[in-house]
Structure 1
Amino acid sequence: MPAVRVDGLRVVLDGVPVLDGVDLTVGVGEWVTVIGPNGAGKSTLLRAVGGLLPATGACTLFGTPGAVLRRRARARLMAVVPQSPVVPPGMAVLDYVLLGRTPYIPALGRESAADVAVVHDVLDRLDLARFAVRPLATLSGGERQRVFLARALAQGATLLLLDEPTSALDIGHQQEVLELVDRLRRENGLTVLATMHDLSVAGEYADRLVLLADGRVVAEGPPPEVLTAELLARHYRARVRIVAGEHGPLVVPVRR
C-alpha cells in the first residue's frame, strides 16, 4: 500500500487547466521530488495532494481516499510545509511549533501537557530548544526552516509535503535542512514528497524524480534516468552537462 497514490489528477484554476491527468505513486518511506520548469504545476500538485485545492481524479493517502478524510484526520497523516509559511507577528518559536498539535486539541480546548511534551521533544531533536522563547522572525533563514519542519513533525504525521524547502537558503543552510529531513526520514520512517528547482540537489537526495511539464508527467524514475541532457533540453530549453556525482547526477549549465 503506497503512502500516496494519484490517478488522473486534474486541477483547473480560473478556467485554465494547470494539471491534466497526473498519475503519481509514492511508496512508504520513499523520497520523491517533483521537478519541472516554471509553470509546470509542481506547487499545484503538492497543494492538491494536501487537500488545499479542488481537484478531480483520485488521490489516496495510505489506502484511504483523500476525499473522505476529515481535516483533522488528514492533518494527523500529512504535514505540509509551504514555500512561505505565514507567521503571526511576534510569535515565539515554542508557540509556533505548538500549532502543529492543533489536530489533537478539542474545539475550544487547550493543549495538554502531553502536547507540550511532544513539542519540547521535537525542539530538542532539531536543536531548537535554545530558541524556544525567541520570536520566530529574529531567527536566520536556516533556523526558521528548521522551525517550520518542527511544526510539521509536531503533528505526528508520517507524510511530509515540502514545497521548495530550500528556495530561500544559501548552500550551507540548504545542506543542513536537507540532511536533517533525510535523517528524520531514516530514523522515523517518514515519507517525503517535495518540489525543487535545483536539479542537482533534487538528484542528490531523492530516491525518485517526477518531471512535470505543461501539467503532465513527462518522465519519472531514479535521478540518472530523469536528469539527462536530452530531457532537460526538451522541457527546460536548457543546455547542460550531466556529471556523475557520489549520490546522484549533477547538472551543470553550459553557455551557448
Structure 2
Amino acid sequence: MPPPPSAGEPRTAPAVEADGLRITLGGAPILAGVDLSVATGEWVTVIGPNGAGKSTLLRAVGGLLPADSGSVSLFGTPLPRLTRRERARIVATVAQSPVVPAGMAVLDYVLLGRTPYIPPLGRESAADLAAVHDVLDRLELSRFAARPLVTLSGGERQRVFLARALAQGAPLLLLDEPTSALDIGHQQEVLELIDQLRRDDGLTVLATMHDLSVAGEYADRLVLMAGGRVVAAGPPRDVLTAELLSTHYQARVRVIDGEHGPLVVPVRAPRV
C-alpha cells in the first residue's frame, strides 16, 4: 500500500472503501459486516473457501448487488450517488461466467465495453474503435476479431471477456476468478498483462482467486474470507500461512517461500 501523505499533502481517497457490508440472500447471511479498503493502484485479491462470500463482495463493490446495510464508495464517491453510466466509466468487471450473445463476433463483443461512452441511439466513434483494436492487439486477439465468440476455446474466450473489460477504460478492474478457464501459460500471460497495465496505466485491481500460489504471486495484499467475514488481511506472506489455511480451508498444506510470494502445496494425509 502506498505510504501515507506527509503533512500538507492532499489525501487520495481509496479506490474502494467498504464499511460494515452486510448482504442476505434467500434468508441466508452471505456477508456479515465486511470492511475493505483498496488503495488507488493497488492489487488486492480476496481468497477463501467455497461459500465464503468472495463473489458476492465483488458484485456489491461493482454495484450489481444491493447491500442490506453498510456502504461502498468508489474513489471517494458513495456508490448510490453514481448513475449506471458513471459507474461503468469507473469500474469494469470480468465475471466468472459472462453471458455471451448468440452469434456475436469478438470485435462486436469487445466493443460493448465502450457502451458508457456512446450516446443513447448513437454509434461508436473512431476513438471507440481505436480503443477496441488496441486492446485486441495487446491481448493477441486481433486475428479472432471477425470470429463468432462461441467458436473460440475456453481460454480464448476468457481473454475476450478481459478485453471487453479493459476496453471500458475504467480505473478499477474487478476480476472474479479471471484465470479459471486458462492453462498455466495463458494464466501467466493474462496476469502479467494485467499487472503491466496496472503499472503503466495506474489500474486498481480487486480480484478473487482459488489458486493460492497464483494469488500470492501477483497481489500486493490478500484478504482471507470465511463465513462471510474477513478473518485475515495483509501481505501474502502474512496471510498464506499453514495455520490460517488449515483453520479456514480444512486443508493440509505446505507453504514454501517463493521469489514473489508464498507457494502453497497440498499435502496428502499420512497413510495408515
**SS of residue matched to 2:73:** strand
User: Structure 1 residue 176: deviation in Å?
Assistant: 1.6
Instruction: State the match for 2:4 in structure 1.
Output: none
CA root-mean-square deviation: 1.0
1:206 lines up with 2:219 in the alignment: yes
Query: Deviation string for 1:9-60 (max 9, x for gaps)?
Result: 0111011110011000001111000000000000000001011111021111
1:164 lines up with 2:164 in the alignment: no
User: Structure 1 residue 183: deviation in Å?
Assistant: 1.3
Corresponding residue pairs, total: 256
1:248 lines up with 2:261 in the alignment: yes
Alpha-carbon separation, structure 2, partners of 1:179 and 1:145: 15
State the TM-score, normalizing by the size of structure 1: 0.97
Letter in 2 for 1:180: L
Cα pair 1:82 1:164 within 8 Å, conserved: yes
Cα pair 2:158 2:181 within 8 Å, conserved: no
Cα pair 2:92 2:166 within 8 Å, conserved: yes
Instruction: State the match for 1:154 in structure 2.
Output: 167
Quick one: which of 130, 146, 163 aligns to 2:143? 130
1:37 lines up with 2:49 in the alignment: yes
Alpha-carbon separation, structure 2, partners of 1:4 and 1:252: 31
List runs of 5+ in structure 2 lacking aligned partners. 1-12
User: Structure 1 residue 148: deviation in Å?
Assistant: 1.1
Alpha-carbon separation, structure 2, partners of 1:114 and 1:250: 43
User: Structure 1 residue 249: deviation in Å?
Assistant: 0.2
Instruction: State the match for 1:194 in structure 2.
Output: 207
* Residues 1-256 of structure 1: pairs in structure 2 closer than 5 A: 1-55=13-67, 56-256=69-269
Alpha-carbon separation, structure 1, partners of 2:132 and 2:264: 39
Alpha-carbon separation, structure 2, partners of 1:114 and 1:175: 30
Percent identity over paired residues: 80
Shift >3 Å, 4+ stretches = none
Query: Deviation string for 1:66-112 (max 9, x for gaps)?
Result: 11101000000000000011111111111000000111112222212
List runs of 5+ in structure 1 lacking aligned partners. none
Letter in 1 for 2:29: P
Alpha-carbon separation, structure 2, partners of 1:237 and 1:110: 53
Cα pair 1:103 1:155 within 8 Å, conserved: yes
Query: Deviation string for 1:124-175 (max 9, x for gaps)?
Result: 2222222111111222223222211111111110100000011122222211
